[in-house]
C-alpha cells in the first residue's frame, strides 16, 4: 500500500491522533470487535493522518501481525514508551485500561501546552499592534512635522531628524521585525508540540512537568509488568530531557546489574532529591508504583501553580514594559518635535529666506 510522505514510517503521530486512536482501540476491544476490522472502519470514517494510520495498522494486522508488531513496524511514528505500554497491557490482559491511562496523561500534556501558548499570546498581540502603530506614526506624523518645519524654515534637529532618517529607510528594515515574530511563533508552536521543546521555557515550571511525566509513565509501565530498567529508560526518553535520559540509562544499568534504588544517588543526578527519595522508599516498601503516582501528582501541581503565576504575571509585566515603552516613545515623538518647533519660532532659529 503506497502512502504519502505524511504517512511514511517515522513521522510522529500527533497527541490528538494518539488519543483518538487509543479511544477507538479500547472501545473495539471492550466490544469484542477484531481490531483489524474496526481500524479499517476508523480509517474510512476519519480524515487526514488518523485515517492513514488506522488503515496501515489494519492492513498489517490483517496480514497476521499483532498490534505491538504493527506499531513497531511503523518506526518512530509511535513512541517507544507507548509501544511498551501496549505490549505490557496485552500481556496483562488490561490493554483498554492501559490505553485509557495513556489518553488521560496525553490530555493533561495538551492542556499544559495550550495554557502556555495562551499565556504568550497576549504580549505578542500587544507588541504587534504597537509596532504597527509605530510604523503609522513614522509614515504620517513625522511627515506632517517635517512639512511644518519646512514651512517655517526651521532646521531639523534632534529626535525629529532621527525619525526622518529611519522613516526614509523604512523599506529596508520595516519587514525585519514581522519576520522575526513569524519565526518566533513557528518556534513556539514547534517547541510546544515536542516534549523536548519545553526546555525552552524554564520559567514556567517545565522541569516539574518533566518530572511528573517521568513518574507517571514509569508508574504506568510498572503497573503493566514492564521491567524497572526498561521502564526507567522509556519514561526518561518520553520527557525529551537529555540529562534525564543520560541519568536514566545509568540508573537502568545499575538496577540491571543487581543494584537497588538506595545506592543510586551518584547515577541519578538529573532526578530531584524528593523523587529519588520516593523511589527509594517505594521500592523498600514494595509500593514503587504508588510512590511514583504521589510524586507525579505533586510535580504536576507544582507545574500548574508555576504556570498560573506565569499566566498572571507575564502579561502584566510585558504589558508594562511594552505599553510603557510605547507611551514614552509616542510622547517623545509628539511633544519633543512640537516643543523644538515652538522654540525655533520663538528664537528665530530659521533658515534664511531665498
Q: What was the pLDDT predicted at 192? A: 59
Instruction: List per-residue pLDDT tens for the chain, 354 residues long.
Output: 333 334 445 577 888 888 888 888 888 888 888 888 888 887 666 666 788 888 888 888 888 888 888 888 888 888 877 887 787 777 767 788 778 877 877 787 777 777 777 777 777 788 888 888 888 888 888 888 888 888 888 887 778 888 888 888 888 888 888 888 888 777 766 765 654 444 445 555 678 878 887 888 888 878 877 788 888 888 887 776 788 888 888 888 877 877 665 655 555 667 888 887 777 777 676 788 888 888 888 988 888 888 788 778 877 887 788 778 878 887 888 888 888 888 877 776 555 544
Q: All 3 cell numbers of residue 229?
A: 530498567
**Alpha carbon separation from 250 to 181, 192, 230, 331 (Å, rounded):** 41, 28, 12, 60
Handedness of CA 259, 265, 270, 271 (dihedral sign): positive
Q: What was the pLDDT predicted at 47? A: 67
Q: What was the pLDDT predicted at 199? A: 46
Q: What was the pLDDT predicted at 3? A: 39
Q: Which of 5, 86, 103, 7 is nearest to 47 (CA)?
A: 7
Q: All 3 cell numbers of residue 13?
A: 503521530
All structural domains of the chain:
5-78 (no CATH), 113-201+307-347 (no CATH), 204-305 (1.20.81.30)
Q: Which of 146, 140, 7, 29 is nearest to 89 (CA)?
A: 29
Q: Are 273 and 295 in contact (CB under 8 A)?
A: no
Q: Which of 256, 252, 301, 299 is nearest to 275 (CA)?
A: 299
Q: Which of 211, 191, 212, 215 is nearest to 201 (CA)?
A: 191
Q: What was the pLDDT predicted at 4? A: 39
Amino acid at each position: 500500500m503506497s502512502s504519502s510522505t505524511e504517512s511514511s514510517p517515522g513521522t510522529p503521530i500527533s497527541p490528538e491522533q494518539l488519543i483518538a486512536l487509543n479511544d477507538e482501540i479500547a472501545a473495539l476491544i471492550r466490544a469484542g470487535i477484531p481490531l483489524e476490522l474496526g481500524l479499517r472502519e476508523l480509517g474510512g470514517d476519519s480524515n487526514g493522518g488518523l485515517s492513514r494510520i488506522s488503515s496501515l495498522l489494519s492492513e498489517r494486522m490483517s496480514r497476521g501481525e499483532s498490534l505491538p508488531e504493527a506499531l513497531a513496524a511503523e518506526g518512530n511514528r509511535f513512541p517507544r514508551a507507548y509501544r511498551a505500554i501496549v505490549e505490557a497491557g496485552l500481556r496483562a490482559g488490561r490493554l483498554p485500561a492501559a490505553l485509557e491511562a495513556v489518553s488521560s496523561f496525553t490530555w493533561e500534556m495538551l492542556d499544559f501546552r495550550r495554557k502556555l501558548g495562551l499565556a504568550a499570546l497576549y504580549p505578542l498581540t500587544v507588541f504587534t499592534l504597537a509596532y504597527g502603530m509605530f510604523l503609522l506614526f513614522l509614515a504620517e506624523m513625522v511627515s506632517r512635522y517635517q512639512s511644518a518645519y519646512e514651512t517655517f524654515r526651521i532646521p531639523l534637529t534632534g529626535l525629529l531628524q532621527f525619525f526622518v532618517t529611519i522613516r526614509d529607510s523604512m523599506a529596508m528594515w520595516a519587514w525585519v521585525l514581522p519576520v522575526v515574530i513569524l519565526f518566533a511563533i513557528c518556534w513556539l508552536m514547534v517547541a510546544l508540540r515536542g516534549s523536548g521543546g519545553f526546555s525552552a521555557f524554564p520559567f514556567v515550571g517545565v522541569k516539574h512537568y518533566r518530572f511528573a511525566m517521568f513518574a507517571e509513565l514509569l508508574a504506568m509501565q510498572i503497573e503493566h509488568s514492564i521491567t524497572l530498567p526498561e521502564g526507567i529508560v522509556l519514561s526518561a526518553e518520553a520527557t525529551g530531557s537529555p540529562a534525564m535520559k543520560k541519568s536514566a540509562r545509568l540508573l537502568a544499568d545499575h538496577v540491571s546489574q543487581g543494584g537497588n534504588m538506595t545506592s543510586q544517588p551518584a547515577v541519578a543526578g538529573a532526578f530531584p532529591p524528593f523523587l529519588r527519595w520516593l523511589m527509594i522508599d517505594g521500592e523498600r516498601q514494595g509500593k514503587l508504583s504508588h510512590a511514583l503516582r504521589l510524586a507525579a501528582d505533586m510535580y504536576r501541581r507544582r507545574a500548574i501553580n508555576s504556570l498560573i503565576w506565569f499566566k498572571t504575571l507575564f502579561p502584566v509585566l510585558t504589558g508594562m514594559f511594552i505599553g510603557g515603552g510605547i507611551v514614552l516613545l509616542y510622547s517623545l515623538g509628539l511633544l519633543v518635535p512640537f516643543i523644538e518647533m515652538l522654540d525655533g519660532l520663538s528664537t528665530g532659529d530659521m533658515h534664511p529666506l531665498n
